[in-house]
Amino acid sequence: MKKAYIRPLDLRHGTVDLSHGGGGRAMVQLIGEIFGRAFDNEWLRRGDDGAVLPAPRPGERLVVATDAHVVSPLFFPGGDIGCLCVHGTLNDVAVMGARPLYLAASFILEEGFPLADLQRIVASMAAAAKEAGVPVVTGDTKVVEKGKGDGIFITTTGIGALPVGRELSGANARPGDAVIVSGTLGDHGMAIMAQRENLAFESEIRSDTAALHGLIAELLAAVPQTRVLRDPTRGGLAATLNEIAQQSGVGIVLDEAAIPVDPQVAAACEFLGLDPLNIANEGKLIAICPAQFADALLAALRAHPLGTRAARIGEVTVDAQHFVQMKTAFGGRRMVDWLAGEQLPRIC
């Protein structure tokens, strides 16, 4: 009796086919040779349907966040869908104040997707996970027919442990609090848009994609009184601050002159008719804390490589309508609304 013969994966010229999602030998091979090798750890090696993992320390709570990543193009200046899907989910866990512990990753591949691209993306994920010190402990792979997907979609789920007594939430902002941002706004979204639109600048606009849990640990050590942390991804600063204003039942007034934007990002936004406040970031943080701690929080951010351009950009106000407004450079005020229409799809 002989087992069916199966060829080795051709990682240079091969492509994903439907058998790689069929539950048979080809799937086992793909998972072993690409995912198993890159993410290798004791849990994946076990080969069970789920991973059995040490729980958080006594008294700690769990934090869970999940994100589908459909960014197009898959590779962009400063990153790719692989590191982005690790950073984005780790950041969602970290802004709750939690220590990220584990990642789960689920892949939807389109028939015909080059195995070389898959391997490159998985290597980028693995490097990002390793740098963050958070293992990918379980996963799943599906394949859809050509024309029914778009190369690769990756959903990552992050699990973290929330230390005893820590309470961060978008619902915690109070009038008088300071609003701080960890750096320039709009870099990720404009890196994607510039590549899509083939815009050429003196120097390339690069995505800011980065894992923020190290920066957040420093920030919370310096200012445990911090009330809100949030990463302004899709919808940008405008959407995130509007969400916080709604959740907390407050208003927010920003100071336009204080908001850090890279000159090239500002130029690209102007060219495309976009507002940097609506553009996605993937390595930036909004922090809201009582005003008396704002300088300490700023100092903690600026001492970290990911926060050198941190700035205090506004304050929380009493506002029954929960508006986010901006004091303009010319002394006026304008609304900072979230986008109502269709814009900037597939940015993350």
Residues 115 to 154: which contact its own copies by CB under 8 A? 137-145, 147-150, 153
Give the strand pairing for 79-80 and 99-110. Answer: unpaired
What whole-number distance in Å separates Cα of residue 315 and Cα of residue 317?
6
Site map for its own copies, 80-99, x if CB under 8 A? ------------xx-xx-x-
Q: Which is nearer to its own copies, 229 or 265 (CB)?
A: 229
Residue 23: Cβ-neighbour burial (10 angstroms; 0-12, 13-18, 19+): exposed
Determine which residue in the list 58, 273, 305, 332 makes contact with its own copies, applying CB under 8 A. Answer: 58
**Closest CB 3 distance from its own copies, rounded Å:** 6
Three-state DSSP string of 71-127: CCCCEECCEEHHHHHHHHHHHHHHCCCCEEEEEEEEEEEECCCEHHHHHHHHHHHHH
**Closest CB 297 distance from its own copies, rounded Å:** 19
Indicate whether 345 belongs to the interface with its own copies (CB under 8 A). Answer: yes
Residues whose CB falls within 8 Å of the CB of residue 21, separated by 6 or more in sequence, listed in order: 27, 109, 141, 142, 143, 144
Indicate whether 328 belongs to the interface with its own copies (CB under 8 A). Answer: no
Indicate whether 209 belongs to the interface with its own copies (CB under 8 A). Answer: no
Please, are residues 188 and 76 in contact by the beta-carbon 8 Å criterion? no
Residues whose CB falls within 8 Å of the CB of residue 47, separated by 6 or more in sequence, listed in order: none
**Residue 69 in tokens:** 């990543």
Determine which residue in the list 9, 51, 272, 303 makes contact with its own copies, applying CB under 8 A. Answer: 51
Residues 168-187 within binding reach of its own copies (CB under 8 A): 169-171
Centre a 10 Å sphere on the Cβ of residue 200 and count the other Cβ atoms it contains. 7
Determine which residue in the list 79, 236, 283, 314 makes contact with its own copies, applying CB under 8 A. Answer: 236
Indicate whether 160 belongs to the interface with its own copies (CB under 8 A). Answer: yes
Residues 291-320 within binding reach of its own copies (CB under 8 A): none
What whole-number distance in Å separates Cα of residue 304 and Cα of residue 252?
26
Residues 242-281 within binding reach of its own copies (CB under 8 A): 243, 246-247, 278, 280
**Closest CB 295 distance from its own copies, rounded Å:** 26
Phi, psi (rounded to 5 degrees) for 174: -130, 145
Determine which residue in the list 8, 13, 48, 273 makes contact with its own copies, applying CB under 8 A. Answer: 48
Site map for its own copies, 2-41, x if CB under 8 A? xxxxx----------xxx-xxxxxxxx-------------
